[in-house]
A and B are shown apart, each in its own frame.
Chain A
């Protein structure tokens, strides 16, 4: 029974890992932007939920109506005015990647600095939906279940969008070869901006959901950027279901390792798995390339 609960806990944590990685997968996998300031959007979503609840008693889920459009527009503006010039001048993909890493690294400090000045550095947290629910005899917290459900729903939706729609086909074409995509009349700058902005919007959702059960502060963003990066690389860049699966594998491995070996090892297991994937399948577990 304890084992089953441990696995279930791991599944929920894994869903959360998948959730925070989905947006980066859109930004990096489709729009080809390695955004190191990615986690700052999560921080923004978390703070929005927190302030809406503390200041005005507005439900964290309702705060999504504000934070998601803001994150979408904000990320669109970043792409349009900060990253597009880099795309234009870059000689090739490697140069572009190096440039975006530098720019978004700087952006990370700007956002973090503003948040520190505005909201101070202390930890924040609130209690929302921290009620036990019983799943097949095991007890889990409703807020974690919610994050898991959102992760699965978003991953499936993105998978369907990319696989079964015309827009998705165009996005996949950009992911494979932005130059060739232009030749078949795909509006690459517009759709790349869309993918980048959508990635930010998803991260705002993740931030809101994660803030319900994990405490956070102004400098928490980078932690989630790194986690998301591991999941994206493991699952395969641009693979939405792969991303969810990689998250689940990490979550369950952590929980099983903690239960069967020692709880102190969870991070070690995490990184050992990542190393193993890098050695054996550097293109990612679910990538065909």
Chain B
């Protein structure tokens, strides 16, 4: 017993002798990273598969590799996750982010799930100067918020650059004489749906294509067939539905039932989900959708296998994109070499990051060249627009009949 104590003392003395070893002794035991994500309530389905599971998988991947390398301490430091459930309540999310920062004193906080929750918690991140790369948020407002919220970064495509390529595509097809250029728009009466539809109408006006129909339906609608019939009677050759998962499934199924099969068929959130594949099988071929990832990005195949092994389910572009933002954070920390939030923020703001989803750069804190439009081609969602991005595939036109 005594000998052991002496031995221990000797070891620590030895450790104190060399300078790099001192630094090693001072290195934190772990990098403490907190987050509040909806694990119950109406946001839970989306939050679990797109956000929460990616945080878990990323932490496991990082820790399996020994941790994040901190130059300052010359060693790898593992991640410790502190997680809370915001119960799909925005006030709760705000409280929890504040709690993580003030009570738990975590080193970093990861953003929550959903546009509204991200916009509501962003002021807290910025007040305490915690950098956050918001992925599941898309709203026109984020473009104006840049200077006010310097610690917030927005990685997803936003309503304006998410719809401009769609209008340009219709204008181009019209010029080539492939379509008459009659556009029908349906959208869910929720912030994202309304903003996308508004941006789309503006973009169509600029591109001189005719919008023959533009109406909303409420969230939680149980039947869209009458509306689809109305659209069908107008004989549009391009159909855009800025929808949420339940209505995405509904509009696709009901369009098939009534035989509405325009050459351009676009649906919103939910289209890349595994459930969409399970439900529609080969009929999904040619359907256009919101956002995409670069399927040629290095590491993506391995990620999909690790995801499958951990959760026993397939991935969707949202989960790949979220994981990508975690890689940005990791790379920024490694560049800085220590947990200095100001420096990490600057590294994110100025860097170019190769991830499994995309190559990310932020200008005015927004990823300006984010993937806007994807398409089901065979069994894969491929990126179509912006067409000049790495991994972009040509548009499949016309969509095969149902």
Contact = CB atoms under 8 A, between A and B. Distances in A.
Interface of A: 2, 5-6, 9-10, 12-13, 16-17, 54, 109, 112-113, 116, 120-127, 130-132, 139-141, 144, 213-215, 217-219, 223, 251, 254-255, 258-259, 262-268
A255 B226 contact: yes
Interface of B: 39-42, 44-49, 186, 189, 215-223, 225-227, 229-230, 233, 245-246, 249-250, 253-254, 256-259, 270, 273-276, 278-281, 311, 313
A215 B275 contact: yes
Q: Is the interface of B mostly helix, strand, loop or mixed?
A: helix
Contacts of A218: 44-45
Contacts of A12: 223
Contact of B256 (A109, A112, A130): A130
B222 A215 contact: no
A48 B44 CA distance: 21
Contact of A122 (B186, B226, B273, B281): B273
A116 B39 contact: yes
Contact of A121 (B47, B225, B226, B229): B47
A121 B215 contact: no
Those 7 A-B pairs whose CB atoms lie nearest each other, nearest first: A121-B48, A121-B45, A6-B226, A264-B216, A267-B218, A215-B249, A141-B257
Contacts of A5: 225-226, 229
A262 B226 CA distance: 11
A263 B216 CA distance: 6
Given A2-B233, A54-B278, A123-B246, A219 B253 contact: no
A215 B226 contact: no
Given A12-B223, A219-B42, A258-B227, A263 B279 contact: no
Contacts of A141: 225, 253-254, 257
Contacts of B189: 264
Given A10-B223, A141-B254, A218-B45, 8 more contacts: A116-B39, A122-B275, A123-B249, A144-B223, A213-B253, A219-B45, A263-B215, A263-B226
Nearest to A17: B222
B49 A122 contact: yes
B225 A219 contact: no
Contacts of A132: 257-259
Contacts of A17: 222
